[in-house]
A and B are shown apart, each in its own frame.
Chain A
């Protein structure tokens, strides 16, 4: 009964809560249980709690909240503490594996004894040397099979020069090889380059996102640029006869490596020769449309032209066709919004099951624009996604959850986010999130939680998720601090500061400013004040750290003032004076605020140090502050001064 109740609550609430205000509404529910109807009055707070419980249940069954990811060793020294470290460790382990594979490849003679019964083929060194020698078509076929691009091209040239005819299929498979690898060597060198590029952005990405490096990495990973008159084109030109397959692979290769205009010309040639293209070629052409035309409407028209040709040549479209279409529509702005729903209808008419990439494109088209329309589409998408477990069918499937969570954050809808979490739990769907995407996904979810949920819920999620499932980003910590502020729970701040130190954020200016201003805003009870003072001491230590690896952090005026305030409130006169006198005045020439002066006087009064108070007044006088008169009079009133001191 509770299950049905929960599901009806969800359905009703998601259809009713357009404006999600925080005043208590009462929904009327009809609950159909065993044939009888009865009404329930539920208030919104219970509703929230229920969603939270459901959300909680999901993740405790799937992930272990007490440990880091299982790929890391279970040791406090070897456990990653923040996102950058986890990526670094994962990548270094992977590069260790690659080093071992390199050694195995270099010295296969030590690893090829088959003494295991039965033999384990995946642990044997790979035999990548071609067996067939000599200049013949068999040798060429073998080199193509082993993916040795350069060798096969050389062998092909030798065969042509010797005059032996090479059959059409072999030439076609050679063309396939060349177009797939873009006329560069496959495997080792390319993999080496890619890994280098991956290592460096991994370390630097958290510090500064340089778009140039991202672009470089993008172009390298998607294959190199298509050079003028490279081997593929040359071989294509000297082929005595070409069939549809030859044209098709050339088109697909050109699109893959960025030569879209040439691909289009090749397609016109294909039509002139009255060949028929296959479905993969059409998919490639549709993906190339945004680089062929600039205006939205023209892009859509060109895509329609391709679709019409497909219909004329009686080529059946598949899932990837529609995904390519939607991908093109992503870059078509307003036209995309109106046309994408028609595309979906067409898919349903042809009985093709949409994959996650389809939904990803849809959500992107509707929710990444400037004006966010109603949340109708995303609810329907979630309805579909929740129902089934997906298998990967398109490389873009992996982006779905990240895009969907981003859309939930933009719409500020926490219930949608819970539904999305549930959808991710179902079946195999969690496999679509790898380590980076997992971190991004959960950190967006946490930001949404901080904005929308009650503080105890937020804290509970934070404690459980924080080192096992994802590593909080600086933005997450800021959101958490603001949520604590909104809920008046500032006593949790010292533990947040501990986490910040562990995550390596203790040198971030904006976080330090935020935490100091929150701590020093009001007077708090004694123990909390002591804890705050300890944090202030840590922060002071961070600013003064000399030598070693990092330059000491620069003090800002407000930070100094806050630290002085915190020290004064606890009665640590020496520290407060030190902060005041040394740093503020001498080093950065800042003037302490009146509040700081007053607090300092209070502190001096409490701890009975009239000398300190005198020093303060002298300082104020020397700085020529307008408040120095007031301070002097206050001091004379409140302190009992000996004659000398007067």
Chain B
């Protein structure tokens, strides 16, 4: 069915053309599986698998935690991948802090989250010089 014109979910409204927007933000949710991937990958939503709601709650907490731990240098949304017990957090950062400080935050986040969720947590980072702009809206 075609979309209702009143939908406002996860869409950045067109403005004057000076607002830089990443690829993730620029695409509305109906583009998921067409032009976008998934930000959180786990088996909770497969038929007969338990725990989807818990995973969603954990995701919400993790995204807020990482937004606060890496203040201002997260370039894009964090991708969470769960493989068996392991939680892999893939983040793209802007090069705003010295590498030693980044390593401090990585060690801190990994240990704290592992103790919090009782599972091994691995943080995989990629750094970019500036936020990657897809278009200006």
Contacts and interface: CB of A to CB of B under 8 A. Distances in A.
Contacts of A96: 103-111
A25 interface: no
Contacts of B127: 75-78
A76 B108 CA distance: 21
Interface stretch (A99-107, A182-190, A341-349): A99-107
Interface string B99-130: 11111111111111011101100001111000
A75 B125 contact: yes
Contact of B95 (A77, A104, A110, A116): A77
Contacts of B112: 100, 103-104
A78 B103 CA distance: 8
Contacts of B111: 96-97, 100-101, 104
A115 B107 CA distance: 24
A92 B107 contact: yes
A624 B49 CA distance: 93
A504 to B, nearest CB: 13
A304 interface: no
Given A77-B95, A110-B116, A100 B107 contact: yes
Q: How large is the interface on B (under 10, 10 to 19, 20 to 34, 35 or more residues)?
A: 20 to 34
A93 interface: yes
A92 to B, nearest CB: 4
A114 B118 CA distance: 8
Nearest to B118: A116
Interface string A107-130: 000110011100110011100000
B74 to A, nearest CB: 15
Contacts of B116: 110-111
Q: How large is the interface on A (under 10, 10 to 19, 20 to 34, 35 or more residues)?
A: 20 to 34
Contacts of B124: 73-74
A88 interface: yes
Interface in A546-596: none
B88 to A, nearest CB: 13
Contacts of A120: 118-119
Most chain A Cβ neighbours within 10 Å, of B99, B105, B125, B126: B99
A99 B102 contact: no
A114 B100 CA distance: 34
Interface in B5-44: none
B118 A97 contact: no
A94 interface: yes
B100 A115 contact: no
Interface string A61-99: 000000000001111111010000100111011111101
B125 A92 contact: no
Contacts of B108: 96-97, 99-100
B99 A89 contact: yes
Contact of B104 (A76, A85, A99, A116): A99
A13 to B, nearest CB: 46
A93 B107 contact: yes
Given A75-B127, A100-B115, A104-B112, A95 B104 contact: yes
B90 to A, nearest CB: 11
A120 B121 CA distance: 14
A78 B107 contact: no
B102 A78 contact: yes
Contacts of A74: 124
Contacts of B110: 96-97, 100
B114 A123 contact: yes
B115 A111 contact: yes
Nearest to A81: B99
Contacts of A72: 103
A92 B100 contact: yes
Given A75-B125, A97-B111, A89 B118 contact: no
Interface in A106-157: 110-111, 114-116, 119-120, 123-125
A125 B115 contact: yes
Contacts of A90: 103
A191 to B, nearest CB: 15
B115 A92 contact: no
A101 B111 CA distance: 7
Contacts of A85: 99
B100 A88 contact: yes
Interface in A258-287: none
A114 B126 CA distance: 33
Contacts of A119: 118
Given A93-B104, A96-B103, A116-B119, 11 more contacts: A75-B127, A88-B100, A90-B103, A92-B103, A93-B103, A95-B104, A96-B107, A100-B107, A100-B108, A123-B114, A123-B115
Instruction: Identify the 7 closest CB pairs spanning chains A and B, nearest first.
Output: A96-B107, A100-B111, A96-B108, A116-B118, A93-B107, A96-B104, A100-B112
21 contacts: A73-B103, A76-B127, A77-B99, A80-B99, A92-B101, A93-B107, A96-B103, A96-B105, A96-B108, A100-B107, A100-B108, A100-B109, A100-B112, A104-B115, A111-B116, A116-B118, A119-B118, A123-B114, A123-B119, A124-B115, A125-B115
